[in-house]
Each structure stands twice: as C-alpha cells, then as structure tokens.
Structure 1
Amino acid sequence: MKTSVLLRRFAPYFKKYTGILLLDLFCASLTTVCELVLPMMVRYITEKGANDLGSLTVPVILTIGALYLLLRLIDTAANYYMANIGHMMGARIETDMRRDLFSHLQRLSYSFYDNTKIGQIMARITSDLFDITEFAHHCPEEFFIAGLKIVVSFAVLATINLPLTCIIFAVIPVMLLCSTHFNTQMRRAFKDSRHQIGELNAQVEDSLLGVRVVKSFANEEIEEEKFEQGNGDFLDIKRRMYRYMAAFHSTTRLFDGIMYIAVVVTGSLFMINGQITPADLMAYLLYVTTLLTTIRRIVEFTEQFQRGMTGIERFLELMDAPVDIDDDSGAEELTDVVGEIEFDHVDFHYGDDDKNVLSGIQLHVKPGDNIALVGPSGSGKTTLCNLIPRFYDVTAGRILIDGRDIRDFTLHSLRSNIGVVQQEVYLFSGSVFENIQYGRPDASREEVIKAAKLAGAHEFITAFPDGYDTYVGERGVKLSGGQKQRISIARVFLKNPPILILDEATSALDNESERIVQQSLEKLAHGRTTFTIAHRLTTIRNAATILVLTEKGIEEQGTHEELLAKGGVYSHLYNLSDLGNNSVSR
C-alpha cells in the first residue's frame, strides 16, 4: 500500500484523542521556540560585543539569561507532557487497534482460518503493533517540529543572507531523493522481516503443540532443522535490512558534512567580501546546526516510521479480510425454537474449490428427531452439519429452521440455539469450572455442578484435589480424552440448546469411556433435534432416521433395520464396523 493510503486510513484513530494531539503539538511548538530563540540571543550578544561593547551591561546580560531560563522551564514542562501524555496517546491508539483487530478476527468465518496460519495472526496482533505507540506519538510530533524549524530557519537565514540560504536548501532535495530510495528498500525489508517472524511463530507453535508426536517419533532433530531454516531466513532478511539502513544513515551523514562545509566555506567568502558580518555568520552556523539536528532527527525517526508503517500495513491487511458470514440487513433474533429443520436443494463447495462437496441436498427433520449421518470419509457429513449454525454459508439453496431461512436470523441468536459436541474437544487454559461455565457465562456454580452431573462428569471432577477449581492445563492436557469429552458435554448441557450436533463425539475414546460418554450424549439428545455424525455405527441404531451420505449426496435414508434389509451402502458399512468390533473383542 502507498504511504499516503496507510496514513489516511490510520488517521481516524487520532479522532478520539484530538485534544491531546493538539496540546502535544502546541507543546512541540514551545520546545521549538526555545531552540530557535537561542541563536538570535547569541547573535545579539555577539553583535553588541563587536560593535557597541558599552551597551552590553550586566543587567542586559542577566535579562537575556533570565529570559532564556524561563524559556527552558517552559521547554521542560512541554517536554514532560510530550514524553508522558503524548506517549500514552500512542499506547491508547495501539490498544484501540489491537481491540479492533481482535474483534474483526472473531467475526471472520471458518474459511479464513482454514487458509491462515495462527502464528501469522499472533504476530500481527502482538509484535506488529508494538511500534504503533512510538509511531502514533512521534509521527505528527516530529514532522510538525521539523516543518516548523525548516520554515522558521529558512525565513531567518534568508534575512541574513539569501544566496547562502539558497545554496544550503538546494542540497536538501538531493538528500531527500537519496533518502527516499533507501527508505523504500528499508520498508520492503521491514515487511519481509515481520512476515518471517509470523512464519517462525507458526512453526514454533506447530512444533510445541505437537511436542508429544515429535518425541514419540524421536524427531527432535528434524524440528530443530526446520527451525534453523526459518531462523536462518530471518537472519538473511535482517542482513538485508541493516545493509539498507546503514546506507541510509551513511548517506545522510555525508550530506550533513556537505552542508556544514558549504556554510563554512561560502560563509567565510561572503564575510571576506563584506556580504555577511561575523555575528550573522555565528547565528547562521547555529541555525544550520539546528536545521541539521532536525534533519538528523527525521532521519533517525525514519527507521521507526518505516516500522510503524509496516505494522499499519500488516494490520490493515487483516482488517481488510472480508467477513464472509455476517448478519444480513434486517436480521431478527431467533427465539422460541421448535426444532424443525429443512434442507432445500442445498449445494456447497469451499471457496477455493469449484467441486461441490454437497449437491442437491433435500432433507426435512421434525422437531425432536435424532438424525444420524454415516458414510465414507469426505462424503460431507461434518460439512452438512457446519452449514446449520452458518460456520459456512450454502453455495445454493437454503436451510430453514421452523420454516424460516437461517440467514433471516442474527448469527448470535442462531448459534445460541445450537449446541455442538466435537470429536476434538478444545478446553481453554483455566479451571474445570471456567470451562463448563463457558457454555453460559452467567451461570451460577450450582447450575454448573448440575450440568456436570447430567454429563456424568461430577464424580471424577470431585475426585480431583481442587475439584471444580482444578487447572486443566493447555488445551486440557491434564485430563484424559473421556474426561475432556464429558466436560464438553457438560458445557452443552449448561447451554441447553434446542438443536444439537454431535460430531463423532466418541470415536477417539476407549470402550469404557465411550460407554460412559454415550450415556451422557443420550441424556443430552433427549427432547432435542439432534444430528449425530457416527464413526461407530453401533452407536446410532436407535436413531429415528439414518442418512447415508456419499459423493452422490443422500444415497440411502431410513431406520437401522430398514437400511440393513436393503443390503446397500449402509449394510456394507455396518458389516465392516461389526467385523472390526468383533476382532477387537476377541
């Protein structure tokens, strides 16, 4: 993105802090006045000393000293405000941006997360925004001070000696041209650096979360080699970044020296010819020093500026990620759900693939029915269920709840009426109580315990030394698969939704855990419209309707007995499942 575009889109974040910003710029102008007055005082004293020493009395000198001391006190107060309140303005803007980004991430659909590395997202929401505090504070401040000093310096120097001023200021455009070239290269290197940090984050996260798999295959060296590769790439980018940075600073120092030489040599020649007085040359040198100090500060700020612009660009790239699934205009709250669900000629394919996963699905589910979905892997069982809470939107057709298109309802109210128990349970880092209460954050402790009892989890929870306050570890690592699954079921019991989706909730459990969890699921499904994705077909014999999904769509439909009698796909799958169970029992 162009710098002008980035700045224009970043500018609205200053709106809340307009008062602080204006006061900060006012303080910046006060500090600038203090710097610009000193050369004039020196010029006055030098001129009086050279031409009329008698008029330079002690009271005059003390008055000048007292005036400068007063200006310095004002400068100190102004600088304190800039360093304290000004920086806090930058910190608040950084906080606002991080909040907006996290809020936007919460609204993005499954499709976005299917194609984005979490490590990259983490880098953008944390480290990419670290430099925003300094950027937001110093960017307007530094450019305002620089502009003020350059304009005032030019005006004062032009009154002293216009030809010499024109020579000095003619060097500045050439200096800026060289700086712009290296700036562009630095910006590109900074962005590559941020991207590679995200890649490193993603690789480290992947390796550490899978550390048990790494150790079980004794593949520590492979992970170290992968990390070394990414780490080496980051070093190469840093090498390129510092090369451009060094060229940028060295070129600026060269022009710095050229401007000083121009002032000293040309100013001396003008003084020999009587075109400038010694006092004026002294003041000129001081103003040029102030001017060069300003340019040097801008140069030094450029690195920070480019870091800030890179952070803003990567922030905006995420903020520009489209929200594929959102409330339609005029969406209403879904209330008093009966639980009737209908799929009306539903097609679906993923955004990056034109091939339909589901085609022409027609299905009518009565309130309270238990619908089981079976079929080979990749037939679209989970996808079909994910369309009901609008984790993905249908490509064609529509899904209705109680006779109305689900797109007519707000996402929050729709998903609040649907409970999902997944095969891969995710528990948040925290206590057992907090993880169950996540199903309904306003629930009391008594309600949480009741939900745990219904899920068959109360007994093992109370056996822990800390009971419901037991820390479950990262992603529930301290609990067994069956314990985690029952906590997730308790979470849904607490939510108490009228529609339920059970996504292979027992397939990863041992026989004993499966039996306990299956009992909990049967309690949970009672009286609710339920979709059960089955891996072990023996668990869905009592389903009101069993749907057999294949690449052709819903190939078979009926009760367990009806489908066995047909001798089709379901019968074949069931016989294979039965053989597997018998071999296990033997």
Structure 2
Amino acid sequence: MARGHGRAGTVDPMTPEELNDQTQVLGKQVWRVIPYAKRYPKRLIAGFIGNACARIVDLVPFVAIGWAVDYFTSDIMAGPSIVQTAVNSINSDPAVGYGFLIFLGFAMLAVFQGISEYSWQTLGYKIQHDLRMDATRSLIDMEASYYDMRQTGQIMSVLSSDVNQLEDVVSDSSTSIIRIVFTFLTAFVILVSMSWKLAAVLFGPIIFIIPCVYWFSTRVQRKYRKQRESTGDIHAVLENLISGISVVQAYNAQNWEANRVNRESGSYRDQAMGASRDRNRFLPMIYVIAGIAFGLLVTAGGWLASTGDISTGELVTFLLISTRMTMPMFIFGILINQLQRGEAAARRVFAAIDLEPTITDSEDAVELSEGISSVEFHDVHFTYPNTTIKVLSGISFKAEGGDFLGVMGHTGAGKTTILKLLMRYYVPDSGDVLINGRSINDYTLDSVRDKIGFVSQEPFLFYGTVRDNVKYNQEATEEELEKA
C-alpha cells in the first residue's frame, strides 16, 4: 500500500462551501493581513503615526479661525494663555499671529499626510508581493490532481485580482480606519471642551450609523464573494478561448464560445449590480444621518450663541469641524464597502495559502542517492480523482537497468498514467511502485524526480527566450548550452 502521502482526506479549503460560509459584519479572513504588516514595523509605525498626527493637526486651523473670529468681534485675544503668548511673539498684530497659526496647521498637515501616504502605499505593495509569493509557493507544492479539477483562469484570478484587492485594503482601508478614529476622537475632545451640549447634539445622531452598517455588511458580503468567484470564472473561460482559438475556429464554435463568455460575464454583471444596489442604498443613509446632525447643530448652536453659552468664534469652530467630519462619515461608508470586497478576496487568497499537499515525504523518507537500477509495478490499481473508471487494474511489471521497455495501448489506456505514478504525481489506489526493490514512498520526492528524465508528450515553452527554456532550472556553461 502507498505510504507517506500526507493527509489524503484533507478538505480542500478552496471549495465553494468554505468560501460561502456564515456572513460576518466586518469579515474574518481580511484581518489575516495584519501579521504580514508586522514584518515591516518601520513602515507600519511611520504610517500610523503620520496619519494620526495628520488627522490631529487637520483640525488645528479651525480652532485658530474660531479664536481669530472672537478677536475680530470683541477685540480681545482668545485661546489659552500659551497660544496668546505665541501669537504675540509672532507679530504685534494678533491677526497676523492667528493667520500664521492657520498656515502652520496646514503645513504640518502636508508633511504628516505625505509621510502617511508613502508609508502605507509602500507597505501595501510589500504585503501584496508577500501574499502572492506565499500563495504561489503553496500552489507549486500541490499535486497534479489538484490542477486536474480546476481551471487555470480561476487560479490566476486569485494570484492577480484577489491579491491586488488586498493591497487596496492595506493602502486605503488602513488609512481610512485611522482617519475616522482620530478625526472623531480629536473633534470630540475639542468640541466637548467648548460645549458638551452642542457636542451631544452633533454626535448623538451618529450612533444610528451602527444599524445601517450591520444591514449593509450582512447583505453585501455574500454578493461580493460571488462576484470574486465570477471573476475567476470569466478568466477561466477567456483563458480556454484564447489558448484554444485554433480549435474553436476549426470547429466553427465562435458563436458557442461567445455565448459562454456572455453567460459568465452576465453572471458577474448581475452580482456586481446587486452589490451596487445595496451600496447605493447604504451611502444615502449616511448622508441623511449627517444632514440631520448638522441641521440640529446649526439650530442648537445659534440658540446657544444667542444666550451667551458659547461665543461666536466657538460656533464658527463647531461648524467648521462639523463640516470636516463629513468626509470621515462618508469614508466610513466607503470603508465598510472596501472591507467587504477585501473579505471576499482574502477568503480566496488565504484558501490558496492554507493549501496542504496530499502527496508528501514520509517522516522516515531517505534520499535516492544512487542511480535507478530497477523499476517495478506490483499489482497497481489506479483511478483518477472524481472518476469511477479504473485506468490501471492490477498492473505488474519490472524493468532492470539497461532494459528498453515499450508500453503500447489506445488513447486512455494508461500509458502516461504509469509515468505519472512513477513521478508520484498521483498515489495508486492499491499496490505499490518500487525503485531498486524498495517502495517509491520510502524515498523523498525531490530525489526520485532528480533521477528521472521526463519528456512530456505535449511540449511546453515557459515565458522567456529559447535560451531560458533550454537552461530551465539548470546552471549551464555556454559550451553546455550549445551542446544541448
């Protein structure tokens, strides 16, 4: 019996059942990018601090404008004593000092925002590369049967568009989260210090965003997953069409193939339109809540200013900061949308990364150090995965070193299958394959394949020049290359 071939019963994590399990408000798989970000602590810290500081200094000019308004309306300097001292030290005219503070706030915003943008974007590209390489390494290690049951376009969709979607999550969604948190915290502290009553009027309606987020997330997440799967289906159909165009034309199947593309593209269109419909119901909810909050703010602010509870400058600051908070509220809606898209992509990417091959070296496997002196098949039975027809039934033969063995048979008789079992692309249902009188499973995979010269019946050219293909995975001198 075959040994040392890992967990043959492992459930494939890329099945639709696993990709479409329970819906979560903010997802689960998308947060697995965090350990990748921790690999680059300098960029992570610089991006976090830069964005946080940018959000804080972003509100400084509005506070300074409020102080300036109070000075212009009452001819009395406003603000803490340390600010008044700084304003006087800048220029004898306080108007100039307040103007400089406003300029300084915007200048600091430009510096911190630049640091943040560069740090997060470069971090996103690095994580994108790491994710693609981890997924590629996992896929490279998978046995041939894995690819027999999948379209190339589906796998390419994971390695390209899904990985790219996660780069957007890192570079855009991360900055949005920090922007929302620090803008609201800074605004809350500033506004409460001026008037807790007016702050309550502004922030009170915002809590109604929470049920809106829950409604949107639970509805749209599954649609985004299906949209990502539809993207893979389109890639698969187009890959088949383009690579097999000569066959398509030979059979006059152009219309049939066009209809296939139409069906898959139509499925993507329908999923995208469904998600767009929910998204365009969700975002107006944010606008309505923002409108209610700002309308109440103007009404209550005017009344408090008329009663003397707050100054004119404080009301101006309230109104300016409230308009600045409009963007984070709308960004919050976009953020939830991005996270849902990222969750759909993350499920497919990490499903690829989590793959484990079912054909592996056994714990006591040894290197096949000597040459192959004999190959033997002993009562081998084999059926390809997901089929019921036996390709090999009780095959037994032995070939010694120096023998020339010819295997004849009709198409599908199992000639190529014998070589695939010898290369351990598959594991026999029963029986054993022996090399030098010992089970092939007792040797490491790499050492067995290193000793076998394999020429495929279907020639394949890898991307690159003819020279690159001749030297494929080998170090060779110019003389050896010319000889080859």
Question: Does the CA contact (< 8 Å) of 1:107 and 1:326 recur in 2?
Answer: no
1:322 aligned to 2:359? no
> Residue deviations 1:329-349, cap 9 Å, x none?
354332222332233454433
1:108 aligned to 2:131? no
1:37 and 1:404 mapped to 2: Cα distance? 77
The residue correspondences of 1:25-44 to structure 2 (distance < 5 A) are: 25-44=48-67
- Determine helix, strand or coil for the equivalent of 1:126: helix
- Determine helix, strand or coil for the equivalent of 2:455: strand
- Determine helix, strand or coil for the equivalent of 2:28: helix
Question: Does the CA contact (< 8 Å) of 2:367 and 2:447 recur in 1?
Answer: yes
User: How big is the shift at 1:104?
Assistant: 1.6
1:410 aligned to 2:444? yes
Letter in 2 for 1:263: L
Question: Does the CA contact (< 8 Å) of 1:179 and 1:252 recur in 2?
Answer: no
1:444 aligned to 2:477? yes
1:16 and 1:25 mapped to 2: Cα distance? 15
Partner of residue 315, structure 2: 281
1:425 aligned to 2:448? no
User: How big is the shift at 1:415?
Assistant: 1.1
Question: Does the CA contact (< 8 Å) of 2:30 and 2:339 recur in 1?
Answer: no
1:182 aligned to 2:216? yes
Inter-CA distance 64–275: structure 2 relative to 1 (3 Å threshold) = closer
User: How big is the shift at 1:442?
Assistant: 1.4
1:6 aligned to 2:29? yes
1:161 aligned to 2:184? no
Letter in 2 for 1:192: K
The residue correspondences of 1:541-556 to structure 2 (distance < 5 A) are: none
- Determine helix, strand or coil for the equivalent of 2:405: strand
Letter in 1 for 2:234: L
Question: Does the CA contact (< 8 Å) of 1:98 and 1:125 recur in 2?
Answer: yes
User: How big is the shift at 1:105?
Assistant: 1.5
1:16 and 1:294 mapped to 2: Cα distance? 29
1:205 aligned to 2:235? no
Q: Compare relative contact order (CA 8 Å, sep 6+) and give the higher one, 1 or 2.
A: 2
When normalised by structure 2's length, the TM-score is 0.84
> Residue deviations 1:421-457, cap 9 Å, x none?
232222335444433333x621234334434xxxxxx
1:268 aligned to 2:337? no
Letter in 1 for 2:216: F
> Residue deviations 1:552-575, cap 9 Å, x none?
xxxxxxxxxxxxxxxxxxxxxxxx
> Residue deviations 1:83-142, cap 9 Å, x none?
234211111111111122222221111111111110111111112222333321233322
- Determine helix, strand or coil for the equivalent of 2:423: coil
1:313 and 1:405 mapped to 2: Cα distance? 39
User: How big is the shift at 1:272?
Assistant: 4.3
Q: How many residues align?
A: 450
Equivalent of residue 22 in structure 1, options 38, 45, 63? 45
Of the structure 1 ranges 373-382 and 411-420, higher mean CA displacement relative to structure 2 is found in 373-382
1:298 aligned to 2:332? yes
Inter-CA distance 11–398: structure 2 relative to 1 (3 Å threshold) = farther
Inter-CA distance 54–382: structure 2 relative to 1 (3 Å threshold) = closer
Letter in 1 for 2:45: L
Inter-CA distance 54–345: structure 2 relative to 1 (3 Å threshold) = closer
The residue correspondences of 1:41-52 to structure 2 (distance < 5 A) are: 41-52=64-75
Equivalent of residue 86 in structure 1, options 95, 106, 120? 120
1:75 aligned to 2:116? no
- Determine helix, strand or coil for the equivalent of 1:122: helix
Equivalent of residue 125 in structure 1, options 139, 142, 159? 159
Letter in 1 for 2:475: D
Inter-CA distance 250–290: structure 2 relative to 1 (3 Å threshold) = same
Identity across the alignment (%) = 26
- Determine helix, strand or coil for the equivalent of 1:370: coil
Bigger Cα Rg: 1
Gaps of 5+ in 1: 452-586
1:360 and 1:219 mapped to 2: Cα distance? 41
When normalised by structure 1's length, the TM-score is 0.70
Question: Does the CA contact (< 8 Å) of 1:190 and 1:241 recur in 2?
Answer: yes
Question: Does the CA contact (< 8 Å) of 2:46 and 2:119 recur in 1?
Answer: no
Partner of residue 566, structure 1: none
2:469 and 2:196 mapped to 1: Cα distance? 75
User: How big is the shift at 1:300?
Assistant: 3.0
Partner of residue 543, structure 1: none
- Determine helix, strand or coil for the equivalent of 1:53: coil
- Determine helix, strand or coil for the equivalent of 1:419: coil
Partner of residue 97, structure 2: 63
Question: Does the CA contact (< 8 Å) of 2:391 and 2:413 recur in 1?
Answer: yes
- Determine helix, strand or coil for the equivalent of 1:223: helix
Question: Does the CA contact (< 8 Å) of 1:183 and 1:248 recur in 2?
Answer: no
Question: Does the CA contact (< 8 Å) of 1:187 and 1:307 recur in 2?
Answer: yes
1:102 and 1:231 mapped to 2: Cα distance? 26
Partner of residue 348, structure 1: 382
Question: Does the CA contact (< 8 Å) of 2:66 and 2:313 recur in 1?
Answer: yes
> Residue deviations 1:380-436, cap 9 Å, x none?
433232111110123344333223332333322221211222322223354444333
User: How big is the shift at 1:62?
Assistant: 2.5
1:27 and 1:114 mapped to 2: Cα distance? 48
2:35 and 2:480 mapped to 1: Cα distance? 45
Letter in 1 for 2:254: E
Partner of residue 265, structure 2: 231
Inter-CA distance 281–61: structure 2 relative to 1 (3 Å threshold) = same
Inter-CA distance 408–67: structure 2 relative to 1 (3 Å threshold) = farther
Letter in 2 for 1:77: V
- Determine helix, strand or coil for the equivalent of 1:441: coil
2:27 and 2:249 mapped to 1: Cα distance? 50
> Residue deviations 1:245-302, cap 9 Å, x none?
2212222111111111121123333444544443332222222222222222232333
> Residue deviations 1:184-216, cap 9 Å, x none?
433333332222222122111211222112222
Partner of residue 510, structure 1: none
2:169 and 2:445 mapped to 1: Cα distance? 37
- Determine helix, strand or coil for the equivalent of 2:407: strand
User: How big is the shift at 1:155?
Assistant: 2.5
Letter in 1 for 2:46: L
CA RMSD of aligned residues (A): 2.7
